[in-house]
Chain A
C-alpha cells in the first residue's frame, strides 16, 4: 500500500497536500456565498454591488460550448467558492508568524520566501489557496512607489485605482467563466507601476491549489502607468487530486502611454493520471489593453499541466503604435487537452502584433491552436505575423490549427503560416548515435523546436521551463 503511494508521488513531483484547517464558504453558488466572500474580506459596499451585478448577469448566460475539448458538466452548486488557511483571518506580521506547515509547503515548491531566497531578487506574493499570506520585498518596491499587493488589500487601500480599472478590460458581462470570476473571485495580485518607473525586479506569484473541491477564482490586475515597465511571472503547481478542479481566473493588464508589460506563465497543474482521470480544468481569461499610444504587452506561456487548458491571452491594441506579442508552448501528453491561442485586436494606427505558437501533442492528447487576428477599418498600417507549428508523437493524438483572420483595412499586412510535422527518425538516430537515450533525444529536439518561445522567458523561468518540457513528455516515446 505504502509503496503504491510513493509510486504515485513519483508520477507527479508536486503531488502533495498540506493539512490546514479550512474556513469554507457555504457550498454552492448563491447570493449568500457572494455575501459571505465579500463579508469575510471586509469589502466596501461598492465591491459587493459589483459582484452582485456579475451574479445577476451570470444567471442569464450559458456556458460556451464551441471549444474542442469537451468536459463533463460542472455542477456549480457542488463547489466551495471560498476556502482560506485559518491564519488568514489574523494576518501575520512577519514570517515567524506564518503557519510553519505553509512555509514547509513553499519550501517543497522552492518558493523564495525566506532570507536566503531574498538573494535571488524575486518579490513573491504567494497565494496559498485563495488568500495572499505573506509578501516580501515590499520596502524595495515601496521606495519606487510600486504597489504590489493582494487584490483584497488593494480594494481596501487603493479603491480609486481598483474602481477605475477593475473590469475595464474584462467587463463583468463578458463570457460565462469571466463573469463567474467577477462574482466570486477570492484573491489575486494587484500591481501598479507609477509613471516613469521601471520596476526594479521581476514580480512573481506562485499559485497553489490546496483544498479539494475548491475552485480557484483568482483575479489579477496590473496597471502600468505612462512610460513604465514591469515583468510579471506566474507559475503554478497543484497537488494530486482525483476530482476535477475548476480554475477560472481573470487577468487584466492595462498599459498606458509608452508603458510595457511582460507577462510570463509557466503552468504545471495536475494533468490527471495516465488514464485521463482527474486533473485541473484551466479556464482562464487573460486580456491586455494597450490603452494609449506606444504601449506594449507581451504574453509568454508554457502550458504543460492541466487536464484541459482553455485560454486565449489577448491584446487589444487600442493606442496608436502599440505592440502586442504572444509566445506560447503548449504540451499535451496522455489524455490532456489544450485549446489555446490568442486574439490580437488591432484598433489603432500602426499597431503591430506577433504570434509564435508551438504545440506538442503526444499519447492520446489533443492540442488546438485557435486564434484571431482582427484588423479594424481605422487600423492603418497594422501589421501581423503569425506562426504556429505543431509536433505530433504517435497517431493517437491530434494537432489542430484554427486561425481566424479578419482584415478590414487595405493598408494593413497580415502573414500567417502553420506547419505540422513529427520528429524525424534521422534526428533521433543522430542524437542516439551521440550517446543520448531516446527520451533525452526527444527532450533535446523538442527544446530546439520551442526555442523561439523559451528565449522570451525571464532567466529564472527559462531553466524551469526547459526541465518541464522534458518531464512532460516522459514516456511518450519508445
Chain B
C-alpha cells in the first residue's frame, strides 16, 4: 500500500486542507497502515476476511478519486428509483461527495446543517475507523432542535457512478437529536460502480425522549464491498429503531453499536439478509446496557441461495449497574440449497443479576411438510417456497413502526 501517502496528498489538494488538518489525517493514516484491512485473525472479522477479499478482488486499490468534480445530473440518479421514495426529503452523496441536502418538507429554523467538520475528536479503535478519518471526502452533520418532529423521512442516496472502479469511498454522517425530537432515515445504497470499497461511518446521538428510526436498504445488485458502522448513543427515554435489508452488494457488513447510557432507553435492531450467487453479508450488533431499566430487542432473518454466505454476530453486554435490563436476540436462517453457509455468534456478557436476557438461534431448510401442504392446495413448489419465505420475512417487516415505510419496503421487496 505504497500509494497511501500519494493518495492523501491528492485529497489534500482536492479539499484544500490546512496544515493542521493534514497532520491530523496523517496520524490516522499511520494507524491504518499499521494494521491494514482487518483479517480473520481479528475476532470481529473471523467469518468474513476483508483483507483477503480486498486483496483478491481489488488488488490495485486507490484511496482517493478524481471524479468528485464530475457533474452528475440528479435526474440520472432518480431515473430508476421508486417514485414513492422520492416524495421525501433527500440527501444525495455522489461518489463520496455530498452534493444535495434538500429538506424542503421541514421548518428551516428547526434544524442545522454542518458540512465541514470543526474537529472530529474521538477515540478510534478500529483500522477501518482510522481509514475513514484519514480519507473521508465529505462530512454531513445534522442537528435537530428541541421538540421538532420531522414530517417526512430523510432519504439518503449513496450513489456512485459507473466510471468509479477499485476505489475506497469514505463517508461520514453525524446526527444529533435534541430533546423530544424525532426523525426517520431511509439509507439507500444506489451504486452503478464496480469493485469499490464503501466505508461509511455514522454517529448518532439521541437525547432525552428523542426517537430515531433508521432504515438501511441495500437491494440493487452491485459488485461493491460495503461496510457501514453506526454508533448510537442513547439517553433517557430515547428510542432507536434500526432495520436493515441486506441483499444487493457482493459483500457487505453492517455494524451497529448502541450505548444505552440512561434509563428507559431502548434499542431495536431488526434485519433481513437475503442472498444469492456468491454474496457474503454480515450483520454485527453490539448492544451495551450501561444503565438500569433499559431494553433491547434484535431479530435477524437470513435466507440463502446458491453459494452465498451470511453471518450474524450479536452481542448483548450488561454492565453491573444495569439492573432490570431486558435483552432479547433471535436469529433464524434458512439454507435453501447446498453450498450455502450460515455462521452465527450470539453472545451474552452479563455482569448484573436482576436481568432478563436470552437469545435463540436456529438454522435449517424450509419445512418439507409445509411445502407439501401448500402443494396439496394447488400451488407449485416454487410458489409454495415463495409464500413461506415471504412469511418468514414478514415477521421482521411487521416490526417496522412507521406504516408508510413498512408499505414501501414491502413494495421494494415485492411482498404483498
Contact = CB atoms under 8 A, between A and B. Distances in A.
A406 B359 contact: no
B293 interface: no
Contacts of B206: none
Contact of B348 (A404, A418, A422): A418
A414 interface: yes
Nearest to B313: A404
9 contacts: A393-B353, A400-B347, A405-B363, A407-B363, A408-B340, A410-B338, A416-B361, A417-B360, A418-B348
A182 to B, nearest CB: 26
A410 B338 CA distance: 5
B323 A395 contact: yes
A417 B350 CA distance: 16
A420 B358 CA distance: 6
B337 interface: yes
Interface in A423-453: none
A218 B362 CA distance: 38
B334 to A, nearest CB: 9
Given A392-B352, A400-B347, A413-B364, A407 B342 contact: yes
A377 interface: yes
A274 interface: no
Contacts of A405: 342-346, 361, 363
A460 interface: no
B350 A420 contact: yes
A4 B321 CA distance: 37
Contact of A411 (B347, B354, B362, B365): B365
B interface SS class: strand
Contacts of B340: 408, 410
Contacts of A411: 364-365
A398 interface: yes
B393 to A, nearest CB: 18
Category for how many chain A residues contact B: 20 to 34
A401 B347 contact: yes
B360 A416 contact: yes
Contacts of B351: 395, 397-398
B122 interface: no
Given A66-B43, A414-B363, A415-B362, A406 B343 contact: yes
Contacts of A390: 348, 350
A398 B335 CA distance: 35
A134 to B, nearest CB: 47
A49 interface: no
B356 interface: yes
B341 interface: yes
A420 B347 CA distance: 12
A419 interface: yes
Contacts of B343: 404-407
Interface in A89-148: none
A420 B361 contact: no
A396 B320 contact: yes
Contacts of B363: 405, 407, 412-414
B347 A419 contact: no
B349 interface: yes
A404 B346 CA distance: 7
B349 A400 contact: yes
Contacts of A396: 320
B364 A402 contact: no
